[in-house]
Chain A
């Protein structure tokens, strides 16, 4: 009896081990034609329009499309899955800010140009497409959306301060950052409770994005200590020095917006949803005008096909269907996802007036901005470096650290992070 039980247990263990081995090998071998019947799609809540995704599941009958909303740290989960090589999604979203860190490992993804992206590429904004192209020309990301930025402002405050309040007039008067600061001083005089901006970091983010160069150049050199960054830094510190900075660096932003202590907000198109959901009572008081100093981009994502994709041709069809200009426009209406395909900007879902913004057609501001965003090289370490500068700006705001000292520390720390990641 003892023996037979032992045999039984041995057999169980052996079977389990064998099953594990088979599974492990099965995932790696990817020879022959790949025409799997099942496709999985990973995205995060709000990354794609749920309605469009649902329609895609019904629309494609040759394959079974299964979508999954992945919560938490999306990049980390994707990275772990790709490294593990098991249960890799056939189609996955990649957030715009994470794209740069995936590009050095572009060989983990399929080159979309091989699958026909070249033919549809002209429909999408070139500066956006370029952000998902590796140095050797592999196109790993299909643009979902972008984040063209603009200045959101409280028209009622502008009126009280004797400033123009209609979007066209504001656009004509506030063209440069200096104009914006001048308006801020007027606003603060008329409405003392209102600040011009929520935090210095917000200005810095936008100002860096207005340039064609960021912290690391294409030759892999650290340029975060040079004039273009210093100019952005000085600009970010100005509202603080003038007493126009609300210095909000925690989650009280929602309450601040609801209370009406912020006169302008610098943000991307999707920021409209943040404002309207945080301050439903301010409906009709906000307007949108072009960004002072020129357009820049914040956020915006991609869809990519990992190398393990079980049916690349069908997967690419799914992706290009999901992100066709017509569906892009639906995504905007449904989930405020701003399309990367300019053809969508003329569609009725996008040209409609937004009641929250007093019926203003916000596309008149965001559309032209989207097309004029400068293309800049983003290095893998870019997001980590940006975080250093923002941290030091926060130190200026909360600890009263001298801006010059904060600048030196930010540069030194950013430089070290860059060095750690192999930047010269």
Chain B
């Protein structure tokens, strides 16, 4: 049985960054070509496609769906970025005009700043919290499954429901948090008005949702660390903190890098949180709340394309954002490479 030819070296790049738990996956690049080379080239070329047709057919649904719902829209949006289109009328070619507007649009730059701020505010506590929780959970003896499920639950809860709940808890005048502050004799905070507390609430929501997810991944990684290593450390007289910093963290490094990449992708795409938190205000729907402090780039894209029916400009926004994500991914990639060499 030959390996499915389509999932060869092409997917290695993805696996290398995403190869967290299954660490051996870092190596297929070397083994795959060795497997293919000895074969007669002509046979593989002529009969390859024909004789494997059931396999191709079996995997085709994914590629069809991917092509129709992912690939085509991606390229169509690039096409749209050079046009002016209201959704149903005539499309008008405008060249680079949309990108010129983008450069001069203070709201776009504001949305980028918001997105990055929310990303940092959510990713750092999420990953640190997940690491600590995973360590604690790794040493727990009883109710293991209960803790795991309890901590993972936020991740499978509907994000809209969470956002509505957070909106009520942090409401300016009548929220639970302010009621508690008031009872404790502390001054109330205008959570949903101040530009920084708005970001904080959104970041908190994302932290709450994603900590459990990352914890499970770390936990899986920790369980793969052989017990002898810890035993040796204990014999040498290392305490729990030292063990954590000198053994757990270094061995988990590739897994941590994987979660950083995933969190970057998730964190930069924050959209539902601000959309729901501030969407109930009909007059300000999709504007990201007071001072537009919760206006993330994707929310701004949604507002431009789907509220204002300015699809060309919306497409320009996401493509500019794509470039930004690409830059961050390259930075991450560098980190991964460095981690592998050492």
Residues of A within 8 A of B (CB): 6, 9, 73, 76, 79-80, 82-83, 101, 104-105, 108, 201-202, 205, 247-252, 255-256, 259, 380-381, 383-384, 387, 390-391, 394-395, 397-399, 409, 413, 416-417, 419-422
Specify which chain A residues have a CB less than 8 angstroms from the CB of B98 in the assembled complex: 420
Asked whether A391 and B105 contact (CB < 8 A) given A398-B193, A398-B290, A420-B310, the answer is no
Listed by A's residue number, 23 A-B pairs whose Cβ atoms lie within 8 Å are A79-B88, A83-B87, A83-B88, A104-B86, A105-B88, A201-B284, A250-B167, A250-B171, A250-B192, A250-B280, A250-B289, A255-B171, A384-B308, A395-B290, A395-B291, A397-B290, A398-B291, A399-B195, A399-B290, A413-B105, A413-B106, A416-B101, A422-B92
B272 within 8 A of A: no
Give A259 Cβ to nearest chain B Cβ, in Å.
8
Contact of B174 among A104, A201, A252 (CB under 8 A): A252
Give A206 Cβ to nearest chain B Cβ, in Å.
12
Decide: A252 and B172 in contact? CB cutoff 8 A. Answer: yes
Asked whether A380 and B310 contact (CB < 8 A) given A249-B193, A394-B291, the answer is no
Question: Chain B residue with minimal CB distance to A199?
Answer: B283
Specify which chain B residues have a CB less than 8 angstroms from the CB of A420 in the assembled complex: 84, 98, 101, 310, 313
Decide: B287 and A387 in contact? CB cutoff 8 A. Answer: yes
Contact of A409 among B106, B174, B307 (CB under 8 A): B106
Specify which chain A residues have a CB less than 8 angstroms from the CB of B283 in the assembled complex: 201-202, 205, 387, 390
Specify which chain A residues have a CB less than 8 angstroms from the CB of B193 in the assembled complex: 247, 249-250, 398
Contact of A252 among B105, B107, B173, B308 (CB under 8 A): B173
Decide: B105 and A105 in contact? CB cutoff 8 A. Answer: no
Specify which chain B residues have a CB less than 8 angstroms from the CB of A249 in the assembled complex: 192-193, 281, 284, 289-290
Closest 5 CB pairs of A and B: A398-B290, A255-B174, A384-B308, A398-B193, A250-B192
Decide: A399 and B308 in contact? CB cutoff 8 A. Answer: no
Give A392 Cβ to nearest chain B Cβ, in Å.
10
Give A261 Cβ to nearest chain B Cβ, in Å.
8
Assembled-state Cα–Cα distance A422/B89 (Å): 13
Decide: A398 and B284 in contact? CB cutoff 8 A. Answer: no
B126 within 8 A of A: no
Taking CB atoms and an 8 Å cut-off, the chain B residues in 261-283 that contact chain A are: 278, 280-281, 283
Assembled-state Cα–Cα distance A104/B85 (Å): 12
9 A-B pairs besides A252-B172, A422-B92 with CB distance below 8 A are: A83-B88, A249-B192, A249-B289, A250-B167, A250-B171, A251-B167, A252-B175, A383-B308, A413-B106
Question: Chain A residue with minimal CB distance to B190?
Answer: A398
Specify which chain A residues have a CB less than 8 angstroms from the CB of B306 in the assembled complex: 73, 76
Considering only CB atoms and an 8 Å cut-off, how many residues of chain B contact the other chain? 41
B332 within 8 A of A: no
Question: Chain A residue with minimal CB distance to B278?
Answer: A250
Decide: B89 and A105 in contact? CB cutoff 8 A. Answer: yes
Specify which chain B residues have a CB less than 8 angstroms from the CB of A419 in the assembled complex: 101
Specify which chain A residues have a CB less than 8 angstroms from the CB of B175 in the assembled complex: 252
Give A83 Cβ to nearest chain B Cβ, in Å.
5
Decide: A391 and B292 in contact? CB cutoff 8 A. Answer: yes
Chain B 287-302 per-residue mask, 1 if CB under 8 angstroms from chain A, else 0: 1011110000000000
Taking CB atoms and an 8 Å cut-off, the chain B residues in 140-171 that contact chain A are: 167, 171
Assembled-state Cα–Cα distance A105/B287 (Å): 26
Specify which chain B residues have a CB less than 8 angstroms from the CB of A256 in the assembled complex: 173-174
Specify which chain B residues have a CB less than 8 angstroms from the CB of A395 in the assembled complex: 290-292
Decide: B88 and A255 in contact? CB cutoff 8 A. Answer: no
Assembled-state Cα–Cα distance A248/B287 (Å): 15
Give A11 Cβ to nearest chain B Cβ, in Å.
14
Question: Chain A residue with minimal CB distance to B193?
Answer: A398
Give A275 Cβ to nearest chain B Cβ, in Å.
15
Asked whether A79 and B284 contact (CB < 8 A) given A395-B291, A399-B195, the answer is no
Question: Chain A residue with minimal CB distance to B306?
Answer: A76
Give A306 Cβ to nearest chain B Cβ, in Å.
11
Give B86 Cβ to nearest chain A Cβ, in Å.
7
Contact of B86 among A101, A202, A413 (CB under 8 A): A101
Specify which chain B residues have a CB less than 8 angstroms from the CB of A108 in the assembled complex: 88
Contact of B171 among A80, A83, A252, A384 (CB under 8 A): A252
